[in-house]
A and B are shown apart, each in its own frame.
Chain A
Amino acid sequence: MDSEHQKPGPSTRGPELALAGFLMVLAGFVIVDSVRTGIGWGDDGPKSGYFPFRIGLLLLGASGWVFVTTLLKWRETHPLFAERSQLATVMAMLIPMVVYVGGIAFLGLYVSSLVLIGYFMRRYGRFGWPLTAAVSVGVPLVFFLVFERWFLVPLPKGPIERLLGF
Chain B
Amino acid sequence: MEELSNLLNGFAVAMTVPNLGYMLIGITLGVLIGVLPGLGGANGIAILLPLTFSMNPTSAIIMLSCIYWGALFGGAITSILFNIPGEPWSVATTFDGYPMAQKGQAAQALTAAFTSSFVGALFAVLLITFLAPLLAKFALKFGPAEFFAVQLLTFCSFVGMSKEPPAKVIAAMMLGFALAAVGMDTVTGQLRMTYGQPELLKGFDFLIAVIGLFGIGEILLTMEEGLAFKGKTARINLKVVFETWATLPRYWLTFLRSTAIGCWMGITPGGATPASFMSYGMARRMSKDPQGFGKGNLEGVIAPETAAHAAGTSALLPMLTLGIPGSPTAAVLLGGLMIWGLQPGPMLFVEHKDFVWGLIASMYTGNIVGLLVVLTTVPFWAGFLRIPFSVIAPVIVVICAIGAYTVHSSMFDVIMMMVFGVLGYLFKKLKYPLAPLVLALVLGDMAEASFRQAMLLSQGSLSIFWANPLVGSIAGLAVALLLWPLLGSARGYFKPKEAVA
Contact = CB atoms under 8 A, between A and B. Distances in A.
Contacts of A26: 175, 178
Nearest to B427: A19
A46 B429 CA distance: 38
B193 interface: yes
B422 interface: yes
B167 to A, nearest CB: 4
Contacts of A129: none
A32 to B, nearest CB: 9
A165 interface: no
B325 to A, nearest CB: 20
A155 B406 contact: yes
Interface in B153-174: 165, 167-168, 170-171, 174
A61 B168 CA distance: 11
Contacts of B432: 19
A153 B405 CA distance: 10
B192 A59 contact: no
A20 B175 CA distance: 12
Given A90-B223, A97-B216, A104-B414, A55 B190 contact: no
A96 B187 CA distance: 42
A23 interface: yes
B411 A156 contact: yes
A143 B495 CA distance: 61
21 contacts: A12-B429, A12-B430, A30-B181, A30-B193, A33-B193, A37-B192, A41-B460, A45-B456, A51-B181, A56-B174, A58-B170, A81-B430, A86-B224, A89-B224, A90-B224, A101-B401, A113-B401, A116-B397, A120-B393, A121-B394, A124-B390
B81 to A, nearest CB: 21
A135 interface: yes
A23 B226 CA distance: 30
Q: Which 8 A-B residue pairings sit nearest by Cβ, starting from the closest? A: A125-B390, A59-B174, A62-B171, A62-B170, A124-B390, A86-B224, A48-B190, A65-B167
B255 interface: no
A117 B394 contact: yes
A160 interface: no
Given A29-B195, A45-B456, 4 more contacts: A23-B171, A59-B175, A63-B167, A81-B430
Contact of B397 (A23, A52, A97, A121): A97
Contact of B223 (A20, A92, A152): A92
B192 A45 contact: no
A92 B51 CA distance: 31
B8 to A, nearest CB: 33
A82 B224 contact: yes
B204 interface: no
Contacts of A93: 219-220, 223, 393
B394 A66 contact: no
B193 A63 contact: no
Contacts of A8: none
Interface string A45-80: 111111110011011011101100100000000000
Contact of B178 (A30, A44, A152): A30
B415 interface: yes
B155 to A, nearest CB: 11
Given A109-B402, A120-B390, A139-B398, A45 B219 contact: no
B451 interface: yes
Nearest to B390: A125
B469 to A, nearest CB: 26
Contact of A48 (B185, B430, B456): B185
A19 B181 contact: no
A45 B223 contact: no
A154 B410 CA distance: 11
Interface string B375-410: 000000000000010110111011001100110010
B174 A58 contact: yes
B193 A51 contact: no
Nearest to B411: A105
Interface in A90-115: 90, 92-94, 96-98, 100-101, 104-105, 109, 113
Contacts of A41: 460
Given A59-B178, A153-B51, A15 B452 contact: no
A60 B171 CA distance: 8
A154 B50 CA distance: 12
Contact of B398 (A52, A56, A117): A117
B178 A56 contact: yes
Contacts of B397: 97, 100, 116
B425 interface: yes
Contacts of A19: 426-427, 430, 432
A81 to B, nearest CB: 6
A154 B395 CA distance: 19
Nearest to B176: A55
